[in-house]
Amino acid sequence: MSNFHTKGLAVLVLLTLVAMMGVGCRGTAVPATVTSGPVAKPASLTIAGVAGNEAKGIKAIIPEYEKKTGIKINFVEFPYSTLFEKIVTTMQAKQETFDLIMADDIWLPKFESEGWLTALDEKFNYQKDPDIFPVMYDAATWPPPSGPIIPGEENKPRHLYGITILGNVQFFAFRGDLVPKPETWEDVIANAKKVADPNKPLYGFALRAAAGEPSGMEFFPLMYGWGGRLFDDNWNVTVNTPEVIEALKVRQQLAELSPPGVANYDAAERAREMASGRAAQIITWPAEAADFMENPEVSQVVGKVTYSAPPKGPKGSFPFLGNWMLAIPVTSKNQEWAFDFLTWATSAEVQKTYALAGGIPMRKSVFTDPELAKKFPYFPAVAEAYEVPPIVLPRTPEYIPLITIWGNHLNAMVAGIETIEEGVAKAQEEMTAHLREAGYYK
């Protein structure tokens, strides 16, 4: 073979490897970095994951990847709060423990601002896929493409640090056999009053109003629907405003149309009311639909529930995002193969397998697949909510303490401990004090 042909073949092989890396191979070729060529196959990859239903899909597809590549996947499970702590301590110690992590999207601002994650677009030339909803990329981009940016991060170059593996988003569920589809929150209240019958009992709505984050998350579609926000673009707290107060008055009406005791209701209690036939309408998430309303072992309303994007307020419909991401720690020694697993696991073919195993997928084509829509009747509503599109939660490591403060006051309003006006005034003061202590104000 001539020297010309030898060099040409070498270049062709290298370009082919790089191209496969860029789009995400199916675990059958050796990954390459943009600059260094083929990378040796490791004996194993270790993933830090959350224990519970969120891991159903990824655990189901792991054997296929192991079979295709010969790489053992060690999926190490931790409870939700323990997983966050484990990732933080591992990263702070610069340990090479994990090749991939499953991360709740609210954790990413902490991980990204600390420099703990690999930039996928920079290192691997990752190209955005039109079959993946743009908001999913927004949630894993740092600094965030919209909204306030935490102090000191404004001038950093913007990069992508994760890919959604679990496409969680709020949507709406209602008894289609009892009430018409509510286009607005006023329609929701009208529906609730129409069917309410405490003697059955049947309640027109079931509000998730437990203290802390449950109340805070539940209220977002209403708050944004009336034009309210937690913060402005300078991190000034904006919960004591006419817009938020108007939305809270609607929430109080929904609480009054809910079963007694909703001040103690978290997601499971809300979903049980719907599944038992005692509630006609709720805000919900995919796991609740799967585990409660569409689960014949616990539900009395299978086939009777209809799903849609959340109803509109005066400013529109505002579902909220709650995705889980896959990300690659900068400390991993196997980043190229970790990226290979990440792109393989989020490919269209594998995502269908993932969904059939009970995982919540993340691709448009999977949510709208006719076979899957028949099996999972809430999938089209999830796709509809993503097309709205949903709102990404405020990108700050302080989110959990802030939403806890806000949610505690929201709970107190429903419980009758505080009036709306008292609650927003106290929340405004306490959230502002927290941000001031965290250094958000000059």
Same domain, 81 and 163: yes
Same domain, 154 and 181: no
Question: Is the per-residue pLDDT at 252 higher than 80?
Answer: yes
Q: pLDDT digits over 175-201, tens only?
A: 999 999 999 999 999 999 999 998 999
Question: Is the per-residue pLDDT at 23 higher than 50?
Answer: no
Question: Is the per-residue pLDDT at 24 higher than 70?
Answer: no
Residue-level pLDDT at 442: 83
Residue-level pLDDT at 238: 98
280 part of a folded domain: yes
CATH of the domain at 285: 3.40.190.10
Residue-level pLDDT at 39: 82
C-beta separation of 140 from 148 below 8 A: no
* For residue 143, cis peptide bond before it (omega within 30 degrees of 0): yes
Same domain, 307 and 331: no
Same domain, 148 and 89: yes
Q: How confident is the model at residue 37 (pLDDT cuts 50, 70, 90)?
A: low
DSSP track, 279-314: BSEEEE-HHHIIIIIT-TTT-S-TTTEEEESPPBBT
Q: pLDDT digits over 254-301, tens only?
A: 999 999 999 999 999 999 999 999 999 999 999 999 999 999 999 999
393 part of a folded domain: no
* Residue 129 to residue 220: CA distance in whole angstroms: 28
The two counts, helices (H) then strands (E), for the chain are: 18, 12
Residues spanned by the domain of 199: 171-320+398-437
Backbone angles phi, psi at 327, to 5 degrees: -140, 160
When pLDDT is averaged across residues 20-42 and rounded to a whole number, the result is 55
Question: Is the per-residue pLDDT at 439 higher than 70?
Answer: yes
Lowest-pLDDT choice from 32-36, 158-162, 236-240, 315-319: 32-36
Q: How confident is the model at residue 16 (pLDDT cuts 50, 70, 90)?
A: very low
Residue 242 makes CB contacts below 8 A (sequence gap 6+) with none
| Pairing mode, strands 324-327 and 100-104 | antiparallel
Residue with tokens 């499970």: 77
* Residue 69 to residue 33: CA distance in whole angstroms: 18
Same domain, 225 and 269: yes
268 part of a folded domain: yes
Same domain, 261 and 330: no
CB atoms within 10 A of CB 429: 13
Same domain, 191 and 137: no
23 part of a folded domain: no
Same domain, 135 and 160: yes
Which residues is 283 bridged to in the sheet? 172
CB atoms within 10 A of CB 181: 13
Same domain, 198 and 290: yes
> Which amino acid, residue 252?
Q
What is the number of structural domains in the chain?
A: 2
Same domain, 192 and 329: no
Residue with tokens 């193969």: 337
Residue with tokens 């405003």: 241
* For residue 134, cis peptide bond before it (omega within 30 degrees of 0): no
Check residues 417 and 39 and name the one with the higher pLDDT. 417
Longest dimension (CA), the chain: 90
In residues, how long is the chain? Answer: 442
61 part of a folded domain: yes
3 state SS of 110:
helix
3 state SS of 320:
strand
What is the value of pTM for the model shown? Answer: 0.90
Angle of helix 242-256 versus helix 213-225 axis, rounded to 10: 120
Q: pLDDT digits over 96-151, tens only?
A: 999 999 999 999 999 999 999 999 999 999 999 999 999 999 999 999 999 999 99
Percent of the residues in the chain that have a pLDDT greater than 70, as a whole number? 91
Q: Tokens at residue 194, please? A: 């129409």
Same domain, 241 and 370: no
15 part of a folded domain: no
Give the DSSP H or E segment for 88: helix 80-92
CB atoms within 10 A of CB 300: 12
Closest alpha carbon to 356 in 103, 25, 61: 61
